[in-house]
Each structure stands twice: as structure tokens, then as C-alpha cells.
Amino acid sequence: MLVDGVHRRTIWTEPDDPGTVHLIDQRALPFSFETVRVTSATQMAATISDMVVRGAGLIGVAAAYGMALAARSAADDRGDAATTLQAAAARLEASRPTAVNLTWAVDRMLRTLDGIDPGDLVATADAETEAIVAEDVAACQAIGRHGLPLIEEIHECTGRPVNVMTHCNAGWLAFVDHGSATAPIYTAHDAGIPVHVWVDETRPRNQGARLTAWELGQHGVPHSVVVDNAGGHLMQHGLVDLVLVGSDRTTATGDVANKIGTYLKALAAHDNDVPFHVALPSSSIDWSARAGRREIVIEERDPTEVTHIDGVVETGSGPAVPAQVRLVPEGTIAVNHGFDVTPARLVTGLVTERGRCPADESGLLGLYPEHRRG
Ligand code: MRU
């Protein structure tokens, strides 16, 4: 997608130095555009846990690159390659628990590298990582195509701009390119269908206000940031035509784990007959989980994300200065659950790279018959 008119991806390597992975530092956005370099699996695990990179698809891809870096260490030290790879896998998998893309990518890399001759480890790891990257990009593009009719039909019916509400950042910054929830929005916008996006600010880290607003702005998509609590009010007043969110882990039965606050949006949408769709690549489906609320591990993050907020202070004439401020009485205890689970019954439909389906087991198996058991 575009940054100052130039096409960028969130993660990449340069052809002459495949052992250095470059990433957009999402902690700095939207105030400055910075990149970081990562040269080891341990460093990659830290960039994921510190949320230098975040978003289900991207942390999966970052973990694959992390395994490719581990393959370099395993090939170099001529020790027990399997032990080196297993240790890197464990470190990467522990970096963030909720998004299933992380374990999906690490397990895929481990399977691919299992039993490979040390002399072929690096080339095999690089090829598999490139395949994961290409699949992520293709899946998001396909989600855009399959999700487009949702927006198109509303526009044909009303003849006015389509108001889409989204939560958190399920945009291109959360993947390699295009995004999941934003892909149909970008596709509609590029096709000339007028779209306006209600961007939930998404406390505590404000991925909506900081990241979604930034990337929609870079692409020229009209949008307004609203506080997380505004959704119900906007829906009651007919100001939301469609809710479109991403997913960090979706069960085989269609329950959706996503950024904390998504469930409340789904409840409000249900009460107001607003369609609530979830866009996700199949790498975000956990085929082994059936009861989302009981089975999905919800990441609990540092309480200071709730008690404090990061921003910039505008100084008037000079450049804005980064600052963190405390929001609560000193010493206040806070709790910070990162995600919640929206039950399938509140989800109007899923948009995947293979098409749209109801949020239930037969809908998902209809699109992914290879996951049928027996
Ligand atoms: O904690 P984050 O920022 O990694 O949260 C993940 C997300 O970006 C959202 O939950 C998103 O809607 C789904 S990931 C495409």
C-alpha cells in the first residue's frame, strides 16, 4: 500500500542481504515513519512481544522470518540444528499467545525444515518464508474481491456513501499488504464506490486512531475516528451500514477472537440489525478449537497500556514532541485483556480468501473441505 505515494510493505529483506529483516516500526506511527532491522530469532520474538509489529497476519509472517533467521544460526554453528530451531520456535510462539497465525507459521516452518540437510537449511527456510509472504498478500487481495459485493450492494441500494465501522487495525499494517478488514474497503474505494469509515480508536493502544486512521489517510479513504463507546449510538441513528472487523483466531465453529471491544460492537450491531462481518485469511482459523470463549487463550498485557497513553505534544512552531501521560490516580490498579471472543451467533458472515460463508462449521468446511474429519 502507499506511504507518501510510494508502495511499501510492512516487512521485507533486501536481495543482497537476506539475513537482515526490515520492518516498519508501528510504535512510531503515525507521528514518524521509522523502520527497524532484525537479524536473529530472539530479536524477532522481542519485536513481536513489544508490538514493533502487530496484527495477526504480520506476526505470523514475522515469525516465519524469525525461523529463517534461526535456520542461519542452526546452519552456522553446525551443532544440533533441530534443537536450535525448536528453541527459536518456542521463543517465537511465546511472544504473543492469541493470534493463531503465529503458531501456524512457526509449525509450518518447523515441518518444512524437519530433516533438511544443514547445507540446505537456509535456502529451504528462505523459500518457505517467501511462500508464506506471497500467500499472505494473495489472501488479502482475494478477501478484498470477495468482500467488495458487501459494500457494492449497500451503495446500489442506498445511492449514498457506505458507512463502514471497523475496530482496531486489520489493515495492511496488520499483514504484509492490503489488510483483511480494510481490503474490501480499499477495493471499493479504488473502484469508485464512495466509502466512509468509522474508525474505533481502540483503547488501550489506539491501533484504530493511530494506525487505521493513518493508513486510510495515506490511501485517501474518507474516515472519522470515534471513541470506542460511540458505536452503539452511531448504529441506533442509522449511521453505520456495515461493521467489518478482522480476527486474531477464529474457531472451526465460527467464534471470533479479536481486539478487546469487538464483542460489544457485535452486540450493538445485532441489536440494530447492522450486518457484522469478519474478514480473515485461513491462517487465522484454529481448526482445533470449537468453543472460543473457553478454549482461546486471551493475552493479558501490561497494565500501563491502560493507565498511560502515548502521543505527541504540539509545541506550536517546533516539531511535535513524543510524550507519555498518566491518565489515572497514581498507583491505580488496571487490568488489560487484549482480546475478546464474539460468539458465532452474532457474526453475519465470514469473508475469507476462498469466498464468503456463514460463521459456522458447515460454512467453513464448505470453503475448506480438506479440514473435514473422517
Ligand atoms: O494487539 P494487536 O494490535 O496485534 O491486535 C491484533 C489486531 O490487529 C486486531 O485484533 C485485528 O482486528 C485483527 S488482526 C488482523
Percentage of residues of the chain with pLDDT beyond 90: 90
The answer to whether residues 109 and 192 belong to one domain is: no
The answer to whether residues 164 and 247 belong to one domain is: yes
The answer to whether residues 94 and 173 belong to one domain is: no
CB of 56 shorter than 6 A to ligand 1: yes
pLDDT in tens, 135-158: 999 999 999 999 999 999 999 999
pLDDT band at 75 (very low <50, low <70, confident <90, very high): confident
The answer to whether residues 96 and 245 belong to one domain is: no
For ligand 1, mutation pick of 259, 282, 337, 342 (most atoms within 8 Å of CB) = 259
The answer to whether residues 112 and 255 belong to one domain is: no
| Residue 303: predicted pLDDT | 97
| Residue 239: predicted pLDDT | 98
Report CA(82)–ligand 1 centroid distance (Å): 31
Which grid coordinates belong to 27?
A: 510504535
User: Over the chain, what is the mean pLDDT?
Assistant: 96
| Residue 81: predicted pLDDT | 86
Residue 94 has pLDDT above 90, yes or no: yes
The answer to whether residues 270 and 363 belong to one domain is: yes
Residue nearest (by alpha carbon) to ligand 1 atom 6: 55
Would you give the distance in Å from CA 318 to the centre of its chain? 34
| Residue 293: predicted pLDDT | 84
Answer with the one of 135, 157, 180 that is the final residue of a domain: 135
Residue 79 has pLDDT above 80, yes or no: no
The answer to whether residues 165 and 249 belong to one domain is: yes
Torsion region of 313: left, alpha or beta (phi above 0 gives left; psi -120 to 50 gives alpha): beta
The answer to whether residues 250 and 364 belong to one domain is: yes
What is the span of the domain harbouring residue 312? 147-371
**140: in domain:** no
**299: in domain:** yes
**121: in domain:** yes
* Lowest mean per-residue pLDDT among 47-56, 82-91, 223-232, 286-295: 286-295
Residue 318 has pLDDT above 90, yes or no: no
**32: in domain:** yes
The answer to whether residues 162 and 127 belong to one domain is: no
pLDDT in tens, 259-277: 999 999 999 999 999 999 9
Q: CA–CA separation, 206 vs 209, rounded Å? A: 5
Residue 169 has pLDDT above 80, yes or no: yes
**Total domains, the chain:** 2
CATH code for position 71: 1.20.120.420
CATH code for position 225: 3.40.50.10470
Answer with the one of 135, 170, 199 that is the final residue of a domain: 135
Residue 114 has pLDDT above 90, yes or no: yes
Report CA(80)–ligand 1 centroid distance (Å): 36
| Residue 77: predicted pLDDT | 76
CB of 166 shorter than 6 A to ligand 1: no
| Residue 316: predicted pLDDT | 82
For ligand 1, mutation pick of 207, 297, 306, 337 (most atoms within 8 Å of CB) = 207
The answer to whether residues 218 and 358 belong to one domain is: yes
pLDDT in tens, 1-59: 789 888 999 999 999 999 999 999 999 999 999 999 999 999 999 999 999 999 999 99
The answer to whether residues 311 and 170 belong to one domain is: yes
The answer to whether residues 202 and 336 belong to one domain is: yes
Answer with the one of 135, 163, 178 that is the final residue of a domain: 135
Q: Which residue has the cell 506511504?
A: 3
CB of 169 shorter than 6 A to ligand 1: yes
CB of 207 shorter than 6 A to ligand 1: yes
Angle in degrees, CA 331, 332, 335, rounded to 5: 130
Percentage of residues of the chain with pLDDT beyond 70: 99
Q: How far apart are the first and last CA of the chain?
A: 42
| Residue 139: predicted pLDDT | 98
**141: in domain:** no
Report CA(118)–ligand 1 centroid distance (Å): 36
Q: CA–CA separation, 320 vs 317, rounded Å? A: 9
HEC string of 202-214 equals CCCCCHHHHHHHH
CB of 296 shorter than 6 A to ligand 1: no
**182: in domain:** yes
Residue 315 has pLDDT above 90, yes or no: no
What mean pLDDT is predicted for residues 345-362? 98
